[in-house]
Amino acid sequence: MSDSPTNTLNTWVEVPKNSDFTIYNLPFGVFQNKRLSPRIGVAIGDKIVDLSVLDQEGFFSDMFLPEGVFLNESLNELIGLGKVITRKIRERVQDLLLEDNEKLRDHSARGKVMVNRKEATMLLPVKIGDYTDFYSSLEHAANVGKMFRDPENALLPNWKHLPVGYHGRASSIIASGTPIIRPKGQMKNPESNTLVFGPSKKLDFELELAFITGKSTKLGDSVSTADAEDYIFGFVLFNDWSARDIQAWEYVPLGPFLGKNFASSISPWVVTLEALEQFRETGPPQEPEVMSYLKCDKPHSFDIQLEAYIQPEEEKSSKVCSSNFKDMYWNVAQQLAHHTVNGCNINVGDMMASGTISGKERDSFGSMLELSWNGSEVVKLESGTERKFIEDGDTVLMRGFAEKNGVRVGFGELKTKVLPAK
Ligand code: MN
């Protein structure tokens, strides 16, 4: 791969410096505002391109799209049309936004097509059928193993042979901006070692990315690692909220349940696989050798920088960790191949999260569980405020972006405030 940009693209849209939404990105999302009913748009700079208006004005007439496909409240019908179509739509939008292209720039409907992002409310981008959470960061799995089980045998024997995962709950996946309520449940009181019921005292975030499937399989069929990316439409930031005290008490023998299923938050703009192409990387070496259905003949990792911030009420936000998606031991093609190797079918709009993305260094740990080492140490914020876990009134923010040779492709912001238990 060459290190210099192949071609520089310029747009007539004003894109602020360091914007995640450049002409190279063009993520898809669902928005509405005071005037407009829910519809599908593409983000660029501080604007949203209203695809439904572009469609009405005939800009996609050669593609014979289903009527009203951009007036849906989710991306499911659109991404279900397949990658050949969605890629064409994205390329058409990119072409229309190029500096020298006058077709939209000088069109009388331009004002109607370009909507201010600030005035828009972003909705959940997909109707999520099923949600799976993997556990694909070696560093995260090892850290949790050390704390919850045995420091000598932090990784269980299966971990390097298959991408461990569990089936989560789709109903409680919420869009950025929606607050969550502190969960209640059963947990052990660490001092008295007695069983208590009440609000979780160890509410935590998990810094993750999730991919959204755009193609279904039949029950009984499997997806190979070579074909896996045909099934992946794009990615969002994913905060897999976790109550560590509830989780620690309940998770043996069947794994996460109420400690995880009360909420997960996602960023509203779906960054396509096409936009991430130039950030493709080879993942870490896998030793021992994986079984043949998990072998890959091309790289499936992506160099995406990820950050988590805590913002206590009345305070500025403070960065608590930065890690990178490319360090994940298991990649997305292996996750999908493993998920379907037994014949489990997938549908358009399924969400598969990576698992907490932790790096090797202390400041790259993607959860408070790891950053505070299960509450045994404090995490100091810039203001001097201290945290071990997330408190009521705190807002957790996540950001993610890829940047190379002056090209930036990012996810925008994922923001969730924590409200007291009911
Ligand atoms: Mn998780």
Length of the chain equals 422
pLDDT for 5: 53
**Cis preceding linkage at 125, omega within 30:** no
Give me ligand 1 centre to Cα 289, in Å. Answer: 25
Q: Which domains does the chain have, with CATH numbers?
A: 28-122 (2.30.30.230), 131-419 (3.90.850.10)
8 Å CB contact between 296 and 224: no
How far does the centroid of ligand 1 lie from the alpha carbon of residue 296, in Å? Answer: 24
Confidence at residue 308, expressed as pLDDT on a 0 to 100 scale: 98
Q: Active-site residue among 140, 300, 338, 339?
A: 140
Predicted pLDDT of residue 191: 84
Cα–ligand 1 centroid distance for 168 (angstroms): 9
The answer to whether 372 touches 295, Cβ cutoff 8 Å, is no
Please name the residues in contact with 399: beta carbons below 8 A apart, sequence gap of 6 or more: 237, 306, 307, 309, 410, 411, 412, 413, 414
- Whether 339 is a known active-site residue: answer no
Ranges of residues in the chain with a pLDDT under 50 are: 1-3
Dihedral pair phi/psi, residue 236, rounded to 5°: -135, 160
CA of 395 to the centre of ligand 1 (A): 18
- Rounded distance from Cα 298 to ligand 1 centre (Å): 26
Q: Residue 149: what pLDDT?
A: 85
Gap from CA of 238 to ligand 1 centroid (Å): 9
Separation of alpha carbons 196 and 326, rounded Å: 40
In this predicted structure, what is the pLDDT of residue 130?
A: 98
Return the pLDDT at 6.
59
- Pairwise CA distance, residues 206 & 198, whole Å: 22
What is the predicted pLDDT for the residue at 148? 85
70-114 pLDDT tens trace: 999 999 999 999 999 999 999 999 999 999 999 999 999 999 999
For the chain, the farthest-separated pair of C-alpha atoms sits apart, in whole angstroms, at 72
